[in-house]
Amino acid sequence: MVIWGNKGPDIHSYCPGVIVEGMDKAPEGFTLMKFPACEFLVVTTEWLPTQDEALWQIEGAYNKNAIIPEGYVRYDGPESPIEVIEVEHTNTAEGSRWEFWVPIKKLA
């Protein structure tokens, strides 16, 4: 997975990684980063023949058509430490599929 973060109004960062819990120390050669707990809306494609088809479909779904559940709002702006998490399953025996994990938060 790739975690896209917000470091400021115009600064975005990304890092490959995995989500784990219960770790206090990262293995040698890795960095442990802690993010506050967050809920996500996972937007995904069906299995498609190519990586490009999967990416094209998911970008349209994420940017234009992601329906946020009632009582929640997107939480991917500058106030959120996570902009989006991407998970790609590409060039597998089943084809390719892409996921965007969109941070959301409950309305107050």
Q: Where are the domains of the chain?
A: 38-108
Query: Residues 16-58: pLDDT tens digits?
Result: 777 788 888 888 988 887 777 789 999 888 898 988 888 888 8
Q: Residue 58: what pLDDT?
A: 80
Q: Residue 82: what pLDDT?
A: 84
> Would you say how long the chain is, in residues?
108
pTM over 0.95: no
**Residue 86 pLDDT > 80:** yes
Q: Identify which of 106, 102, 104 has the alpha carbon closest to the alpha carbon of residue 42.
A: 102
